[in-house]
Structure 1
Amino acid sequence: MTRRSALTSLTTAMALAGAMALGGCSSGGGPELEVHGAFMPQPVGDMAGGFLTVSNSGDAADKLTSVTSPLSDDVQIHETKDQKMRQVTSFDIPAEGELRLERGGSHIMFMGIKKQPKRGDKVRIELHFEKSGPIEVDLPVEAATHNPSKHQAPGDRHP
């Protein structure tokens, strides 16, 4: 083998090794988020709640860090513990798990809403995460008493 053909073989082998390494980094190795079961009960005042589930089928955890919406300049994320609601800075989304924002528990809170959405409307929100890119979601506005979790058997998932 000549010096030139050995150098060409070495360069080709290095290029293939680099391509394989990059390919390994891009397939899997991160959160894979999907949002479902989103809704907003029709608000009766200047605040509103939002509910949804974020599923993560990936092999890495992520965090929901904020929510924005044209409906309000002050959208917060809240948890409810010991029947008390408090604002938090983020929610964990475990690898191969889910984050459930539901009535009586953790939720999105729209403070000082700009207009009253009515049943049948959709409210646009954008979810922001620590690792993943933002996800836009339309929250269908449901009846003020809408609570899908009350109609599910234990262990059932939101649609």
Structure 2
Amino acid sequence: MNRRTTTLSASVALAAALALTGCSSSSDSSDGSADGKPKLEVSGAYMPQPVMDMAGGFLTIKNAGGAADKLTSVTSPLSDDVTIHETKNQKMLKVESFDIPANGTLSLERGGNHIMFMELKKKPKQGEKVSIELHFEKSDPIKVDLPVEAANHNPQQH
């Protein structure tokens, strides 16, 4: 009977240790490991020089993390009215967010999904930079400088 109690106690202790290890390992992945958190990086950002009091912004957001995220808004000192738009059937439609898949990419490009700046406070010229801040559902905001390119600039055509 004594041997049985020792074996039972050891089994209970082992089960408890395994349960605690499982808990700590799952919480680690949700708040820091590559599996449980978006890992966002922005590239290819630019703004064609505006010819009116509105402008578009374009960039790519790569998510190297194991969790999806969403681009929920964009802010900029250039305009108090910055929105995100999708293009469907040659029409621009304001959207609340864009999905950024785990281990995937969100491309904002001419003729497609993009950032829209309305009622510009000033018209930036080619060679200048426009600062923006990207806001996400899960990730911290990311500040980006959009280089202002020629009005007809389109990297897809190069």
Query: Which of the five TM-score ranges fits, normalised by the shorter chain?
Result: 0.7 to 0.9
- For residues 49 and 23 of structure 1, the distance between their equivalents in structure 2, rounded to whole angstroms, comes to 39
| Counterpart selection for 2:71 from 42, 53, 64 | 64
Other-structure match for 2:57: 50
| Counterpart selection for 2:146 from 120, 139, 149 | 139
Provide, for residues 5-39 of structure 1, a one-character-per-residue CA deviation record: whole Å limited to 9, x for no partner.
xxxxx8xx79x947656544422211110000000
Query: Structure 1's 94 and 24: CA in aligned 2 closer, same or farther, altered over 3 A?
Result: closer
* 1:97 and 2:125 are equivalent in the alignment: no
Q: Which amino acid aligns with 2:33?
A: S
RMSD: 1.7
By how many angstroms is 1:111 displaced?
Answer: 0.3
Matches within 5 A, 1:1-159: 17=21, 22-25=27-30, 26-28=32-34, 29-151=36-158
Q: Which amino acid aligns with 2:94?
A: Q
- The number of equivalent residue pairs is 139
- For residues 105 and 29 of structure 2, the distance between their equivalents in structure 1, rounded to whole angstroms, comes to 25
- For residues 19 and 131 of structure 1, the distance between their equivalents in structure 2, rounded to whole angstroms, comes to 21
- For residues 123 and 96 of structure 2, the distance between their equivalents in structure 1, rounded to whole angstroms, comes to 26
- Provide the secondary structure at the position in 2 that maps to 1:144: coil
Indicate the percent of aligned positions where both proteins have the same amino acid. Answer: 70
Q: Which amino acid aligns with 1:150?
A: Q
By how many angstroms is 1:70 displaced?
Answer: 0.1
TM-score by length of 2: 0.82
Are the aligned partners of 2:78 and 2:120 in contact in 1 as well (CA < 8 Å)? yes
Gaps of 5+ in 2: 1-12
- For residues 90 and 25 of structure 2, the distance between their equivalents in structure 1, rounded to whole angstroms, comes to 52
TM-score by length of 1: 0.82
